[in-house]
Amino acid sequence: MNAFDGTYRGVRTCWAAPSSPSPRSLLAMLNQGDNNDVVDQINEIFPQTNHQPEQRSSLRERVAARVEFNLPPLETQNNRPFAAFFRNPSTTVPSPLVLISPGFSPSAMLQFPNMFIDPSHMILPSPVANGGPPEAVESSGADHATMMISNNDPMHVALPPQQVAAFGSGPTVNETDLINMEIDRKNEDEEEYKEDEDEEHNIVDELDAEPSSPKRRKFGESTMIGATRSCKSQRVIIQMETEENNPDDGFRWRKYGQKVVKGNPNPRSYYKCTYTACDVKKHVERGAEDVKFLLVTYDGIHEHDPPAARGSSSSGLKGQYSSSVSQDHSNHRTVPPSSSSASEALRLFPSSLDPPVDMTQFYMTGLAKLPSLPVNQNHGLMNWNVEPEIDRVIPDGTEVFKGIRDRLNLNFGLNL
């Protein structure tokens, strides 16, 4: 099996990262007297869609809710995929999760994690229409951010690799400058700093299967208090519907343990990357309520290329990737392969449209290179073999970026 033949239901990530602007800062900005139109400006720049649930709170309310820890419980429907892993999926824990605009693409956060890592920047909702339920996202904290994505995001299928490259990693634009609101974290006091960290702990606890598990708390602390605060502690949690117990993600793993954890009768398997000196680990477990769902948790970032696929005569990743890239993408892409940057983009961010999608490419070198996650917004499932019609959503990522840039420049005077 060269790629997941399962289907994604959602993605949750948490990575050791410096803070995003604190909610208090956002609220202060939103509450500024003559900046009362900040929300309007934001909404003008990133208009909300008709698909947005009416019960969705305003941006101000969402930020205020986060500040006051008075956050609405996650919608059951949203949680359902993850709830499949929990014994008591109906439990609504007082949540530090922030409901964000459905136009705010979680895939974008996956693709541009530095937006959250950079403490002096914030991210705004993307203009991408989204017909799915609201997303629950936590992105706060200085060194440990958690994000839960439990809805279906058309941007996952809508983001061509060239756009990802333009937004995320290429020389075209500094990702942290894309949407720069210049929230000065330095003005935040230490107490608030700790408060956000506590929220991060809470979110890890809540999102993980063991809300009261000391080990879970320990994980959060360890990733934050670590001497280096290395991004190696990035954690990516992927939930998918697959019958594979250990779907091939392109890397080679050695199973080193198996444990039945509390709340899930299905054992959790622990794997280590077999690459020399690579400390990346993952554990895989099936849902307690619905064994159809597989939860794969990656700890760390591979700082090496994936090995050649098992059984492949290819002599390594280059062969593997070159063959992938050399496939006929003409049906999906608008950027000619003659462009070196485009080729690089294709290598780093293979289109989600290219079947088969290999988890090697999904998790190749960490969050910063995560490509789009295709999700069928109609039923929350995405079959990799089903080709979404992305070109009607975002015909060209460069144009989208230019549009966002122009509007930011027009509305906020940001000269990107």
Partner DNA sequence: CGACTTTGACCAGCGC
Partner DNA sequence: GCGCTGGTCAAAGTCG
- By CB under 7 A, name the binding residues for DNA: 209-210, 213-219, 221, 246, 252-263, 268-272, 274, 281, 283
DSSP one-letter code for 297: E
Task: Kindly report whether the peptide bond that precedes residue 73 is cis, defined as omega within 30 degrees of 0.
Answer: no
CB of 217 to DNA, least distance (A): 5
8 A C-beta contact, residue 308 and residue 320 = yes
Token pair 């090697």 is at which residue? 360
Nearer to DNA, 123 or 273 (CB): 273
Check if the beta carbon of residue 18 is closer than 8 Å to that of residue 142.
Answer: yes
- Comparing CB distances to DNA, the nearer of 67 and 284 is 284
Nearer residue to DNA within complex by CB, 263 or 355: 263
CB of 361 to DNA, least distance (A): 20
**Residue nearer to DNA on the CB measure, 171 or 214:** 214
Answer for the pair 73, 89: CB distance below 8 angstroms, yes or no: no
Shortest Å, Cβ 303 to DNA: 17
**How far apart are the C-alpha atoms of 400 and 166, rounded to whole Å?**
10
CB of 222 to DNA, least distance (A): 8
**How near is the Cβ of 391 to DNA at its closest, in Å?**
39
Q: Which residue, 100 or 231, is less far from DNA as judged by CB?
A: 231
In the complex with DNA, the residue whose CB is nearer, 310 or 379, is 310
Nearer to DNA, 194 or 259 (CB): 259
User: Which tokens is 115 given?
Assistant: 């937006």
**Among 161, 156, 144, 126, CA closest to 10:** 156
For the bound state, the minimum distance from the C-beta of residue 257 to DNA, rounded and expressed in Å, comes to 3
CA-CA distance, 86 to 17, in Å (whole number)?
27
Full 3-state SS string of 303-331? CCCCCCCCCCCCCCHHHHHHHHHCCCCCC
271 contact partners, CB below 8 Å, separation of at least 6: 246, 253, 254, 255, 256, 281, 282, 283, 284
Q: How far is the CB of 137 from DNA (least distance, A)?
A: 22
Please state the separation of Cα 193 from the chain's center in Å.
23
Whole-number Å distance between alpha carbons of 408 and 317: 39
Question: Nearer to DNA by C-beta: 93 or 173?
Answer: 93
Q: How far is the CB of 216 from DNA (least distance, A)?
A: 7
Beta strands in 160-241 (DSSP E): 235-241
* Cα separation, 387 vs 105, whole angstroms: 20
Going along 141-222, which residue ranges are E strands?
144-149
- Between 222 and 327, CB nearer to DNA: 222
Q: Least distance to DNA from the beta carbon of 1, Å?
A: 12
